[in-house]
Structure 1
Amino acid sequence: MLDDILLDDPAALQRADRQHALLALAGAGARVRTAVRLAEEAGLASLRPEGRPRTVLVAGHGSVLTAASVLAALAVTGCQVLPLAPTEVAPAEHGSFASGLGWQLPGWLGPLDLLVIGSDTGRERGLVQLAQQAYTRGCAIVVVAPPHTALSEAALQVRALPLPYAPSAAEPAESQDDEPDLPAEDPGALWAHLAPLAALAARIGVAPIGEGALAAVADRLDEVAVRCRPDAAAYLNPAKGLAAQLSGTVPLVWAEGAVPAAAAERFAAMLADRAGLPALPGRLTQALTAHRGMFVGHLGAGADPDDFFRDRVDEPEPLQLQVVLMRHAPGRSEDADPGFAVNRARRLAAAHDVRLTEFTSTLEEPLEAFAELAGPADFAAVYLGLAR
């Protein structure tokens, strides 16, 4: 159940936010600038590539894989960008589950390909082994990790380009997890991984990212932080408003286009991690058929509408669906005709009395549009978790 009073009490929100998630999100813009600066100082600015790679593999877990999905949405047609998730786990060191994760390179990876490895701790033994495997295959390697860690030292041994990971400026979070070996991820880690990855992609021609795109992303995240700040009233704060709408619902996060699809996946992951709320992401038009059955079931109609005289005083509020539709319409007004798939989604929701909330970015730059869509959604997930 959502605590509406807490949402409009900045001091109470600060006390509840013992993991400093709101501070981490508020500093996302500064973190992008720091990550770009660190990457340039580490040698990215002097990099002289001889053509772009055939395939870019991005290995890691959590936000690293989300950053890979964003880059895949931006990549040129002549180059594939693929996330490489862990496939196995061994007994962990120091009680950390992530340190025991393992990755496997695909058999076709070779000298024409690039492997990017990302980690916010640099302690994953499996990523160190992955770098060594890629070196024996003759792959180009880039490593994003904190300095003076096992992974950053391994990067030097395999002649990789080491790019420092930009840490959060927020104070270390208090540990309050029931699963200490599976701690919640820093919500701002996405931007610390995405910024150097996007800068690298622009440098080697993998994605058409403009020269000032990352600076614009940082400015956009600053703007989002102002609009979604804790002392902004709920009726003026889009993140608090969305959090209130999602309470007591099963969210369906639909996306029109590749960039909104990455934002939808990010939102679903944040809702699970920060609010303990399961959400189903999907991309139009496939989501219309994949999720159709949920509209005709009890989630679409709520409680039994036929038994009008049943005593409902002691019954909990029934769960209902809530559709969140994310769109990218560059150069068009939000009132322009969105096309058949979006109109069909609106009709489906209206026909079954399901609330549909739309977030549309009309920005031309896809990376900035992702920030405009994902930024408020990140805040909404954190607010929902705190207010529940």
Structure 2
Amino acid sequence: MLDDTLLDDPAALQRADHDRALLALAGSGARVRTALRLAEAAGVDRLRPDGRPRAVLVAGHGSALTAGEILAVLAGTASLVAPLPPTDVAAVPRVDRATAPPVFTAGLAWQLPGWVGPLDLLVISSADGGERGLIGLAEQAYARGCALVVTAPAGSPLAEAALQVRALPLPYVPSNLPEAETPPGPSAEPDLPAEDPAALWAHLTPLLALAQKLGVTQLPYDALPATADLLDATAVRCRPDAAAYTNPAKSLAARLAGTVPLLWAEGPVAGAAAGRFAAQLADRAGRPALAGPLPQVLTAHRGMFTGQLGAGADPDDFFRDRVDEPDPLHLQVLLLRHVPGGVGGSGGPGDPGEQDGGGPVEVPEDDEGPRGFGASRAHRLAAAHDVRLTEYASTRPDPLHALADLVALTDFAAVYLGLAAVQS
């Protein structure tokens, strides 16, 4: 269940936010600016590439892999961009404290595809810099003659290894918040600590700065500074002391409470945001969610509308005593869209997304504006089964800015949902 009163109590939210996730998200814009400045100081601006690499591989885990997926979306079909996830894990001896287990991610292992060679670029990104598997991956790439870029904290083993294999070292910008408090009660898995919710931007910023220089993306020259401004604007709209009825992230969190979210996306930009939201709901709110692109999800999720989670799943047992039963879970469809031309027949300066600093537009259920066939079919399917559908659309023409709109809103919503959830 959700404690609605907590959402409108900034002091209670602060007490519940043991790892300062809200503060971390509020500082996302500052981290983009810092990462961009440090990437330029590290030499990205001075690169003189001879054309684009044949392929760009982005290795890491968690938000680092998400950054690779976002780069693939922004690059489109003009360049081959492939996220490279870990393929195995090995045991790691305890080296820090005798009583603490080793961090699970330190033992992850990566393997380069067989076709990778001197024409390709490998980008390795890590928030910790202690993964032995990433150090081994850098050595593999060096042996094959790949161009190498490593984003890792200064002084970490991975940053030191980058110098040995002649990689371009780019700094990872950590959060400058104090060390998180230990929450009361049962703690999380000690060898799987929760990820910094704003780490995505620390991974993504140097990656996009590099991609711009190499011609992998066609972003405007000021795309990243403007993204930092958009993240700041979202942090203001979604701040803890903003009332729930004016705070879009709190409103979205309240709608998702007690539901099984189906995160549907129209277009590749919205698809990346939906995948990120599903991961954040699991990590920050402990909630399962299913994400996927239109129109595939219409068939993949069709059976859920007539199953036990559908609104009409129990039509015959009207007189059953439900006093001592918990509220049943129901489906909630969240439709994310990138609509550069505007929604509801509007667009440009008069579009709601360009008012009060911009941000995703919540499209009313009765809006009859132009939609693609997939989005129209999604609305009809939800209406036919009495399943609530909430739609958010970003109207910004630049895909990176649209993605920042959607990701920033849903990141805040996932954190608010986790903070306000009360164990029954």
Task: Bin the TM-score by the shorter chain.
Answer: over 0.9
Superposition deviation, residue 334 in structure 1: 4.2
Q: Mapping of 1:3-22 within 5 angstroms?
A: 3-22=3-22
Q: Whole-Å Cα distance in 2 between the matches of residues 199 and 93 of structure 1? A: 37
Q: Which residue identity is paired with 2:409?
A: P
Q: Whole-Å Cα distance in 2 between the matches of residues 329 and 78 of structure 1? A: 22
Q: Whole-Å Cα distance in 2 between the matches of residues 130 and 175 of structure 1? A: 34
Whether 1:115 and 2:125 are equivalent positions in the alignment is no
Q: Which residue identity is paired with 2:388?
A: R
What's 2:261 paired with? 251
CA contact (8 A) 1:113 1:139 kept: yes
Q: Mapping of 1:270-309 within 5 angstroms?
A: 270-301=280-311, 304-309=314-319
Q: Whole-Å Cα distance in 1 between the matches of residues 124 and 261 of structure 2? A: 32
Identify the match of residue 144 of structure 1 among 151, 154, 159: 151
5+ residue gaps, structure 2: 95-101, 346-368
Q: Whole-Å Cα distance in 1 between the matches of residues 342 and 124 of structure 2? A: 37
CA contact (8 A) 1:67 1:193 kept: yes
Superposition deviation, residue 305 in structure 1: 2.1
CA contact (8 A) 1:249 1:321 kept: yes
Stretch moving more, 106-115 or 300-309 = 300-309
CA contact (8 A) 1:67 1:194 kept: yes
Identify the match of residue 209 of structure 1 among 219, 225, 233: 219
CA contact (8 A) 2:55 2:82 kept: yes
What's 1:260 paired with? 270
Q: Which residue identity is paired with 1:152?
A: A
Q: Deviations over 1:128-183 (max 9, x none)?
A: 00000000000000000000010001111111000000111222212443311000
Stretch moving more, 200-209 or 333-342 = 333-342
What's 1:310 paired with? 320
Q: Whole-Å Cα distance in 1 between the matches of residues 78 and 115 of structure 2? A: 17
Q: Which residue identity is paired with 2:399?
A: P
When normalised by structure 1's length, the TM-score is 0.98
CA contact (8 A) 1:303 1:318 kept: no
Give the SS at the match of 1:236. coil
Whether 1:153 and 2:160 are equivalent positions in the alignment is yes
CA contact (8 A) 1:76 1:206 kept: no
Give the SS at the match of 2:309. helix
Q: Whole-Å Cα distance in 2 between the matches of residues 160 and 331 of structure 1? A: 42
What's 2:90 paired with? 90
What's 1:133 paired with? 140
Q: Which residue identity is paired with 2:205?
A: A
Q: Which residue identity is paired with 1:58?
A: V
CA-atom RMSD in angstroms: 1.0
Q: Whole-Å Cα distance in 1 between the matches of residues 397 and 321 of structure 2? A: 53
Give the SS at the match of 2:376. helix
What's 1:364 paired with? 397
Superposition deviation, residue 306 in structure 1: 1.7
Superposition deviation, residue 312 in structure 1: 1.2
Seen in structure 2, the aligned counterparts of structure 1 residues 44 and 237 have a Cα distance that, compared at 3 Å, is: same
Q: Whole-Å Cα distance in 1 between the matches of residues 390 and 327 of structure 2? A: 21
Q: Whole-Å Cα distance in 2 between the matches of residues 349 and 179 of structure 1? A: 38
Q: Whole-Å Cα distance in 1 between the matches of residues 278 and 235 of structure 2? A: 20
Whether 1:323 and 2:333 are equivalent positions in the alignment is yes
Q: Deviations over 1:192-230 (max 9, x none)?
A: 001111111110000111101001110100010001000
Q: Mapping of 1:91-106 within 5 angstroms?
A: 91-94=91-94, 95-106=102-113
Give the SS at the match of 2:173. coil
Q: Which residue identity is paired with 2:169?
A: P
Whether 1:228 and 2:231 are equivalent positions in the alignment is no
What's 2:206 paired with? 196
CA contact (8 A) 1:93 1:100 kept: no
Identify the match of residue 380 of structure 1 among 413, 419, 424: 413
Percent identity reads 69
Q: Which residue identity is paired with 1:59?
A: A
What's 1:71 paired with? 71
CA contact (8 A) 1:92 1:98 kept: no
Number of equivalenced pairs: 388
Q: Whole-Å Cα distance in 2 between the matches of residues 102 and 300 of structure 1? A: 41
Q: Which residue identity is paired with 1:158?
A: V
Identify the match of residue 378 of structure 2 among 328, 345, 351: 345
CA contact (8 A) 2:103 2:191 kept: yes
Superposition deviation, residue 315 in structure 1: 1.2
CA contact (8 A) 1:109 1:139 kept: yes
Superposition deviation, residue 309 in structure 1: 1.6
When normalised by structure 2's length, the TM-score is 0.90
5+ residue gaps, structure 1: none
CA contact (8 A) 1:118 1:144 kept: yes
What's 1:171 paired with? 178
Give the SS at the match of 1:331. coil
